[in-house]
Structure 1
């Protein structure tokens, strides 16, 4: 049994500036690291989180997937993901945390940022190495955001919102260019995105590809071919991956029993859940929890 419950941080808990603490944190990354040294341990965010590295090395983990850190890298996280880092040497860059309602006062479509590929909650699609020419433009936008925070001018928050949207659009263009180079039709990616969003909303109840295919008004064979073509995985694997990820997240909570987790994920019984987890994670739920606890306490 794990000894600790993985912490979940809110913007209010991390912010020093009361004027913006409910909606935004924007800082140079070294200052953020110095202020929040405990964040290298695995933790969750209740907010959106992005970091742009201009200097540094080491590694970070997002939802139990490890990524090497290098200059020119930007990563994006959505609320609820598990995160930790182990940096090597001097770090530099920018960090922005913003609430899930941050853009609601500016944009009529409250789901607007969901369109960006890097905000889909998939770790592999949320860490990008930016081209050198884009890095310069992105750096300038981060500097403008920091200047807005420091100057506290009229309409500061709306100016920051528009600057952040510029960052999102520029990075999304990089991702779209990569997609086009793979010569996969754009509408296939949009369909896959809709599939992933449906999984996010329904993975505890709907576990069969044919159920999602019906919601997308396509055949199960079409859905499976789409997933194979774009992600080199079957539709069933993508659904199972999301269930497995949530199981791992829940297992970091020391207050939940294996039986409670099985119930929350809508498994028929504890035994079926344990067999599922061992088959696809390569370890029993108990062993995974012990290994996480060992890593967390070393």
Structure 2
């Protein structure tokens, strides 16, 4: 029984060899992979910078209209698809989740970038003219260096410069000291645990125990960091997984309820409708 949608595991997409990094011209990439218009996941980080184009890009069931000077970030496991109009231009970057681990002492370094968290609130940025120009120049240079077979650490350094420049110039809501504070670390660890255990653990107190803090403290951190209580984050993750499974028409609603550890189909349907405003069957019709 197939229980998931396609997962692309190779940064090169159609390449025969496994490579940890791909930096490419967007128009050429789309032309080469023009059949990939079905919902799919990546096992790597993926971001797209648009210099031109029209159409839409859907990430975890949220549809975005494409505009020039935008950048979209996707974390491993997110579901996405595109509907381009054939006039797209820009850059595409794929890199493995462990791409920097042999390069940086802090193996959790990528946690500092909120736009790589997989949160829809952070996945899209409209770049100002100066940032757009600088990022385009860096990515153009990165493509050239990659084609010339530059040393891997040079490529890593260049990509890290791109990520750091975007973070520094895009004016995140919280000051840098708050984004890299103890509470920020707790928050990111909580999100990581939710991704790993949302099927079996649905209560904030269960995660608070794993983090060695009180449920009240966990709620306070979540509210301070993104304005939502911990319980809401857990429920949103369950709903997201349900939506991802509902795309697979081979699975019945009862099978999805079982996969998500609901007591029965009825309870799952009530939960899903309360969170989304639609029954699972209605959601399937909307996404067909």
TM-score, scaled relative to structure 2:
0.87
**Alignment match, 2:248:** 253
Structure 1: give runs of 5+ residues left out of the alignment. Answer: none
Find the partner of 1:200 among 195, 208, 221: 195
Q: Is the 8 A contact 1:180 1:186 kept in 2?
A: no
Find the partner of 2:283 among 277, 288, 297: 288
Tell me by how many angstroms 1:207 deviates: 0.9
Tell me by how many angstroms 1:117 deviates: 0.9
How many angstroms apart in 2 are the aligned matches of 1:186 and 1:23? 27
Tell me by how many angstroms 1:226 deviates: 3.5
Deviates more, 1:98-107 or 1:184-193: 184-193
User: Structure 1's 229 and 107: CA in aligned 2 closer, same or farther, altered over 3 A?
Assistant: closer
User: Structure 1's 244 and 90: CA in aligned 2 closer, same or farther, altered over 3 A?
Assistant: same
Q: Would you say 1:243 and 2:238 are equivalent positions?
A: yes
Q: For residues 213-233 of structure 1, give each alpha carbon's deviation from its aligned partner in whole angstroms, at most 9, with x where no partner exists.
A: 333343323333343344332
How many angstroms apart in 1 are the aligned matches of 2:18 and 2:25? 16
Q: Is the 8 A contact 1:11 1:24 kept in 2?
A: no
What secondary structure, in the 3-state scheme, does the structure 2 residue paired with 1:106 have? coil
Structure 2: give runs of 5+ residues left out of the alignment. Answer: none
User: Structure 1's 212 and 239: CA in aligned 2 closer, same or farther, altered over 3 A?
Assistant: same
Q: Would you say 1:140 and 2:137 are equivalent positions?
A: yes
What secondary structure, in the 3-state scheme, does the structure 2 residue paired with 1:210 have? helix
**Alignment match, 1:27:** 24
Tell me by how many angstroms 1:108 deviates: 4.3
Q: Would you say 1:65 and 2:59 are equivalent positions?
A: no
- Which structure 2 residues correspond to residues 41-190 of structure 1 after superposition, within 5 A? 41-88=38-85, 90-153=87-150, 155=151, 157-174=152-169, 177-180=171-174, 187=181, 188-190=183-185
How many angstroms apart in 2 are the aligned matches of 1:13 and 1:71? 25
Tell me by how many angstroms 1:109 deviates: 4.1
Q: Is the 8 A contact 1:11 1:21 kept in 2?
A: yes
How many angstroms apart in 1 are the aligned matches of 2:102 and 2:148? 21
User: Structure 1's 185 and 35: CA in aligned 2 closer, same or farther, altered over 3 A?
Assistant: closer
Q: Is the 8 A contact 1:73 1:130 kept in 2?
A: yes
Q: For residues 195-228 of structure 1, give each alpha carbon's deviation from its aligned partner in whole angstroms, at most 9, with x where no partner exists.
A: 2222122211221122223333433233333433
How many angstroms apart in 1 are the aligned matches of 2:38 and 2:26? 17
Tell me by how many angstroms 1:110 deviates: 3.8
Q: Give the CA RMSD over aligned residues.
A: 2.7
How many angstroms apart in 2 are the aligned matches of 1:109 and 1:262? 39
What secondary structure, in the 3-state scheme, does the structure 2 residue paired with 1:39 have? coil
Aligned residues: 285
Structure 1 or 2: larger helix share?
1
Q: Is the 8 A contact 2:48 2:93 kept in 1?
A: yes
**Alignment match, 1:15:** 14
Q: For residues 132-180 of structure 1, give each alpha carbon's deviation from its aligned partner in whole angstroms, at most 9, with x where no partner exists.
A: 2222221121012110122124x2x3221111111111122245x3223
TM-score, scaled relative to structure 1:
0.84
What secondary structure, in the 3-state scheme, does the structure 2 residue paired with 1:152 have? coil
